[in-house]
Amino acid sequence: MLWYWYIIFFAVWIVGLAGCVLPVIPGPLIAYGALLLMQLSNKPPFSAGMMLFWGVFTLIITILDYWVPIYGTKKAGGTKWGSNGAIIGMIIGMFLGPLGLFIGAFIGAFVGEILNKQSEGKALKAAFGSFLGFIAGVFGKIVFVLMILAYFFIGLIF
């Protein structure tokens, strides 16, 4: 009964896709977990080497997910206050829907910089950098999770 493994894969994969946008869910890690679950089936569809490759790729994406928004903030002249503000803003914005995440990150970074006694111009620039870093991180995670889905289908076909 391989069909129920497919249902489990897609259910876990959907949670991983949601985690690409929601800050409290580790999307790429969960999507990789969906691949790992498929290995428990009667017919493991993926080689150990490819699973190791995807595991390393997951680790790299996870590290970049934390580094890119910080880099974006720093590159735009922001401080740790702006980075922390963006994270807090994302968490608060999460309750306002997907758009709230993006707006929350921007406003949070701006407020964080203002609390750190930055001028409004500098705070706005840092908030924009944080926002771009967050968007880049989300985009990278979504691409990664879609690649996992493509690999799953390739494993089914071949």
For 80-110, the pLDDT digits (tens) are: 888 888 888 888 988 888 788 888 888 998 9
The angle at the Cα of 120, spanning 84 to 124, to the nearest 5 degrees, equals 55
At 1, the pLDDT band (50, 70, 90 cuts) reads: low
Residue extents of the structural domains in the chain = 46-157
For 118-129, the pLDDT digits (tens) are: 899 989 998 888
| pTM (predicted TM-score) | 0.82
pLDDT at 111 over 80: yes
For 39-77, the pLDDT digits (tens) are: 988 888 889 999 999 999 999 999 988 787 777 777 888
Q: Is the dihedral of CA 17, 132, 69, 59 positive or negative?
A: positive
Measured distance CA(116)–CA(17) in Å, rounded: 34
